[in-house]
């Protein structure tokens, strides 16, 4: 194969431009390093490409999904569960779905922006209950980086002093909406902790970005960058330093190494030209998302690294997890016939429920948090979950219109998001024969939930039903049975995949050290969710960003003192 080699040698090559890659690029470019970034997807600009203020009636589809936009045509994510020419496979009996973004900023263009710190217990779970593994670092090691991310990116919330849901440097949270107040009352009655949510959306101007104007459309890409996306908040200022070169449509194939076993750069496919290229760099940072990073390492095989790069331990692709999840929803008659009012708010819930119970008194380990939803959002294709399910709902003409007006805003739902224990049953490996359109071997997934996760999800179902019942509502879906896994979402469906290049003090059982540097390759680092040792009952991205900032600052320090 003819490969074109770049004459220039960059200081750092970063693969991937999402939460982890964007943060690494920001820190390293600010520190004066000459950085090149490879991004498999296309360019994206929130102001140019977002659809923040588009009305559903401006499209014949009314916002329904398209092949490229499975979450709806206005959604700011190009990618999906299936990408043409980029397959993945599942071992027999495995159910697993993999969401991939293909654009500058990755999934941070449309993510939910629920921005939670892991707590002190989340870094030492094995010591507490004997399951999984401890991290080689503690909450105190990461705290200053969480603080720095809060200050740089901006987050709203409230300081509550909860033991394992740490406080942060918060901007004021928006007030709860009407249905959220009703949820809060029921949560208080049932003893479920319910506090203002913690979202990376500005309620006050910060670092040259304006405060949110409450249009409620965060998942479409914020044209004024009042919410966090890697694209608008990290990559744009990194580019302005003149130190960051972003190559789009550049699909990394493998990390190249020299005879000494050091990384020399990354070979990639220029997708538009259909040509193989090679970019040279003194340091390589992988941030292609947890599972793509594992794939890249497994594909970077050589006589020196026959099992793949940084994989002497055989743990690349292992100990992968996703968040557990299930949903319950119903309608609450108390919310019918409301006085019309504007409660758009931010593009996300204004309240949330962190884990509030003690597992020693329960039949499953580890917790979950609750993300409520509902309210008076812009109606779009499929809204309200089917009018025929409401009392007297459906029909034609005037009755249909009246029913929509009456019941609009009465739908309330709860999504549980919990911690899965890493196990030997869940891993990714290279498929022995399948390749993508460029001939790059693809991942094959193995996945199995255990009773730990099933019983946790059963508890979610029961809790959410009790909440809707207490609100005087009627739940729509039947209680799922044990045979239905109590309604647990298929692995990968919550889109919080982590692990596959986990951190550890022992090179025999882990891929990277406490600074996210590969044990075996001194100038190779990982800056995405691949390094996570355990999942926690929190969404992972704030921790991905804190760790990426910590790793990139470590690289900058090492470069300054000539050690890299
Ligand atoms: C709908 C949705 C809602 C979410 N909500 C939340 C939330 O509320 N809170 C939370 O914490 N998390 C949430 N997440 C998860 C969050 O988006 C991810 O944790 C986060 O984006 C991961 O960052 P990353 O940098 O690892 O990967 P990504 O953001 O996926 O970025 C990876 C980038 O690498 C590129 N890439 C991949 N392979 C290659 C290759 N071989 N060569 C070159 N480039 C490559 C991709 O094109 C992509 O742009 C949500 C995700 C989705 C989809
Ligand atoms: S709700 Fe606020 S942050 Fe979200 S898109 Fe609208 S203005 Fe931007």
* DSSP three-state, residue 62: coil
Which numbered atom of ligand 1 lies nearest the CA of 539? 11
Model confidence at 3, in pLDDT bands (50, 70, 90)?
Answer: confident
Summarised one tens digit per residue, pLDDT across range 546-555 is 999 999 999 9
For residues 471 and 341, the model is more confident at: 471
* 336 CA from centroid of ligand 1 (Å): 38
Cα dist from 96 to 293, 490, 550, whole Å: 18, 6, 31
> How far from the centroid of its chain's Cα atoms is residue 262's Cα?
30
Half-sphere exposure of 409 (CA within 13 A, CB side): 20
Burial state string for 420-455 with b = 16 or more CB within 10 A and e = fewer than 16: bbbbeebbbbbbeeeebeeebbbbbbbbebeebbbe
Rounded CA separation 530/544 (Å): 9
User: Which residues neighbour 32 within 8 Å (Cβ) at sequence distance 6 or greater?
Assistant: 243
φ and ψ at 346, to 5 degrees?
A: -80, 170
Query: What is the best residue among 50, 52, 108, 233 to mutate for testing ligand 2's pocket, by most ligand atoms within 8 Å of CB?
Result: 52
Rounded CA separation 259/448 (Å): 40
Ligand nearest to the CA of 52: 2
List the beta strands (DSSP E) in 109-249. 195-196, 244-247
* 317 CA from centroid of ligand 1 (Å): 17
Ligand nearest to the CA of 221: 2
- Comparing C-alpha atoms, which of 326, 504, 332, 298 is closest to residue 411? 332
Residue nearest (by alpha carbon) to ligand 2 atom 8: 222
Ligand nearest to the CA of 113: 1
* 535 CA from centroid of ligand 2 (Å): 28
Residue nearest (by alpha carbon) to ligand 2 atom 2: 212
At 188 the pLDDT is 98
Mean pLDDT (whole number) for 156-170: 97
Share of the chain above pLDDT 70, in %: 100
At 196 the pLDDT is 98
Rounded CA separation 292/284 (Å): 15
| DSSP 8-state secondary structure symbol assigned to residue 339 | P
Summarised one tens digit per residue, pLDDT across range 167-209 is 999 999 999 999 999 999 999 999 999 999 999 999 999 999 9
User: Which residues neighbour 482 within 8 Å (Cβ) at sequence distance 6 or greater?
Assistant: 454, 458
Summarised one tens digit per residue, pLDDT across range 6-40 is 789 999 999 999 999 999 999 999 999 999 999 99
Model confidence at 393, in pLDDT bands (50, 70, 90)?
Answer: confident
Query: What is the best residue among 156, 171, 214, 350 to mutate for testing ligand 2's pocket, by most ligand atoms within 8 Å of CB?
Result: 214
Query: What is the best residue among 50, 171, 173, 212 to mutate for testing ligand 2's pocket, by most ligand atoms within 8 Å of CB?
Result: 212
Tokens standing for 434? Answer: 């399948």
β-pairing, 244-247 vs 35-38, is parallel
Ligand nearest to the CA of 16: 1
Cα dist from 536 to 146, 147, 207, 338, 430, whole Å: 16, 19, 30, 39, 27
Residue 2 has pLDDT above 70, yes or no: no
- Ligand 1 site residues (CB inside 6 A) read 15-21, 38-41, 99, 101-103, 106-108, 110-114, 250-252, 287-289, 292, 296, 495-496, 528-529, 539-541, 544
Residue 248 has pLDDT above 60, yes or no: yes
Ligand nearest to the CA of 290: 1
* 397 CA from centroid of ligand 1 (Å): 44
Query: What is the best residue among 13, 15, 18 to mutate for testing ligand 1's pocket, by most ligand atoms within 8 Å of CB?
Result: 18
At 1 the pLDDT is 57
The DSSP bridge partners found for residue 286 are 15, 526
Rounded CA separation 129/419 (Å): 13
* 106 CA from centroid of ligand 1 (Å): 5
At 394 the pLDDT is 79
CB atoms within 10 A of CB 26: 27
At 343 the pLDDT is 87
Summarised one tens digit per residue, pLDDT across range 41-81 is 999 999 999 999 999 899 888 888 888 888 899 999 999 99
* DSSP three-state, residue 70: coil
* 346 CA from centroid of ligand 2 (Å): 6
Whether the Cβ atoms of residue 174 and residue 227 lie closer than 8 Å to each other: no
Tokens standing for 178? Answer: 């009407």
Mean pLDDT (whole number) for 388-397: 86
Query: What is the best residue among 218, 221, 344 to mutate for testing ligand 2's pocket, by most ligand atoms within 8 Å of CB?
Result: 218
Residue nearest (by alpha carbon) to ligand 1 atom 18: 541
* 77 CA from centroid of ligand 1 (Å): 10
Which numbered atom of ligand 2 lies nearest the CA of 201? 3
Q: What is the mean pLDDT of the chain?
A: 96
């Amino acid at each position: 194969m003819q490969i074109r080699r770049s004459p220039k040698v960059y200081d750092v090559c970063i693969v991937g431009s999402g939460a982890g890659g964007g943060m690494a690029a920001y820190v390293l470019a600010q520190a004066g390093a000459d950085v090149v970034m490879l991004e498999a997807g296309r360019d994206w600009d929130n102001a140019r490409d977002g659809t923040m203020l588009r009305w559903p009636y401006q499209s014949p589809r009314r916002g329904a999904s398209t092949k490229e936009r499975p979450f709806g045509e206005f959604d700011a994510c190009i990618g999906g569960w299936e990408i043409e020419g980029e397959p993945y496979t599942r071992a027999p009996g495995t159910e697993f779905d993999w969401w991939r973004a293909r654009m500058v900023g990755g999934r941070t263009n449309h993510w939910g922006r629920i921005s939670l710190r892991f707590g002190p217990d989340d870094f030492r779970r094995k010591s507490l209950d004997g399951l999984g593994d401890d991290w080689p670092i503690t909450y105190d090691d990461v705290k200053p980086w969480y603080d720095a991310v809060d200050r740089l990116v901006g987050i709203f919330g409230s300081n509550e002093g909860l033991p394992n849901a740490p406080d942060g440097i918060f901007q004021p949270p928006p007030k709860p909406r009407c249905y959220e107040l009703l949820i809060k009352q029921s949560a208080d009655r049932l003893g479920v902790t319910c506090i203002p949510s913690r979202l990376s959306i500005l309620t006050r101007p910060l670092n040259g970005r304006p405060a949110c104007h409450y249009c409620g459309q965060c998942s479409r890409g914020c044209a004024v960058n009042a919410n966090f996306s890697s694209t608008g908040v990290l990559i744009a200022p990194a580019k302005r330093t003149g130190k960051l070169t972003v190559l789009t449509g550049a699909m990394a194939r493998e990390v190249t190494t020299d005879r000494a076993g050091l990384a020399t750069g990354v070979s990639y496919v220029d997708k538009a030209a259909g040509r193989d290229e090679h970019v040279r760099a003194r340091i390589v940072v992988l941030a292609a998302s947890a599972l793509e990073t594992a794939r890249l390492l497994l594909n970077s095989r050589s006589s020196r690294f026959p099992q793949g790069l940084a994989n002497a331990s055989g743990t690349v692709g292992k100990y992968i997890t996703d968040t557990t999840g299930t949903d319950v929803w119903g309608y609450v008659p108390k919310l019918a016939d409301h006085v019309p009012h504007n409660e758009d708010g931010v593009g996300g819930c204004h309240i949330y429920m962190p884990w509030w119970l003690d597992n020693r008194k329960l039949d499953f380990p580890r917790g979950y948090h609750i993300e409520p939803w509902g309210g008076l959002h812009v109606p779009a294709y499929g809204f309200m979950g089917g009018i025929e399910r409401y009392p007297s709902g459906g029909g034609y003409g005037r009755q249909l219109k009246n029913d929509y007006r009456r019941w609009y805003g009465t739908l309330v739902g709860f999504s549980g998001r919990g911690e899965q224990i890493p196990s030997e049953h869940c891993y990714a490996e290279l498929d022995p024969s399948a390749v993508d359109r460029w001939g790059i071997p693809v991942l094959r997934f193995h996945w199995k939930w255990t009773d730990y996760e099933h019983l946790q999800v059963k508890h979610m179902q029961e809790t959410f039903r009790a909440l809707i019942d207490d609100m005087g509502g009627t739940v729509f879906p039947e209680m799922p049975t044990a045979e239905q896994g109590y309604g647990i979402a298929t692995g990968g469906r919550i889109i919080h995949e982590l692990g596959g290049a986990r951190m550890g003090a022992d090179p025999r059982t882990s891929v990277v050290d406490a600074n996210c540097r590969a044990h075996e390759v001194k100038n190779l680092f990982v800056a995405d969710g691949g390094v996570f040792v355990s999942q926690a009952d929190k969404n992972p991205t704030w921790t991905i960003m804190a760790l990426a900032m910590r790793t990139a600052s470590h690289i900058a320090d090492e470069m300054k003192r000539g050690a890299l």
